[in-house]
């Protein structure tokens, strides 16, 4: 399975600021995803990061608030913009081989964000 790293592992930010989270994979992958997980809750998909085109956002998530980049097949960033305390959560990057290969997703270690 792919080895996935995320930076930063945790951060404490002030409301109104922005934080960019990086996700790096040690091999090329077809699919990259960004999730949010509130304490004690399951995973909520924010968006699918598409290489070379705009990310595909899930209902309730918009590009202005969560801009995503994916410049190549091994790297993606998620920015949490104009943060509020409600954005405090764990943000997880995951990767998958894609259609016709395997759908299982492998997760990065997560970024624990606290907004004060």
- Count CA atoms within 13 Å of residue 26 on its CB side: 8
Nearer to another protein, 21 or 92 (CB): 92
Beta-bridge partners for 14: none
Which residue, 14 or 100, is less far from another protein as judged by CB?
A: 100
Nearest approach, Cβ of 85 to another protein (angstroms)? Answer: 20
Residue in 2, 13, 43, 73 binding another protein, rule: CB under 8 A: 43
**Burial label, 105 (beta-carbon count in 10 A; 0-12, 13-18, 19+):** middle
Residue nearer to another protein on the CB measure, 66 or 91: 91
Q: Are 79 and 19 in contact (CB under 8 A)?
A: yes
Q: Does 57 bind another protein (CB under 8 A)?
A: no
Cα distance between residue 31 and residue 43, in whole Å: 17
The token pair that represents 47 in the structure block = 């968006």
CB of 107 to another protein, least distance (A): 4
Site for another protein in 82-111 (CB under 8 A): 92, 99, 102-110
CB atoms within 10 A of CB 32: 27
Closer residue to another protein, CB minimum distance, 4 or 19 = 4
Question: Where on the chain is the footprint of another protein (CB under 8 A)?
Answer: 1, 41-45, 92, 99, 102-110
């Amino acid at each position: 399975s792919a080895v996935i790293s995320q930076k930063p592992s945790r951060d404490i930010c002030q409301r109104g600021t922005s934080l960019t989270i990086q996700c790096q994979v040690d091999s090329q992958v077809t699919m990259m995803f960004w999730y949010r997980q509130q304490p004690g809750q399951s995973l909520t998909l924010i968006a699918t990061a598409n290489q070379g085109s705009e990310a595909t956002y899930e209902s309730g998530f918009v590009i202005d608030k969560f801009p995503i980049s994916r410049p190549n097949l091994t790297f993606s960033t998620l920015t949490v913009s104009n943060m509020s305390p409600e954005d405090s959560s764990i943000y997880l990057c995951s990767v998958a081989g894609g259609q016709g290969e395997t759908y299982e997703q492998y997760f990065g270690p997560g970024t624990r964000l606290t907004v004060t």
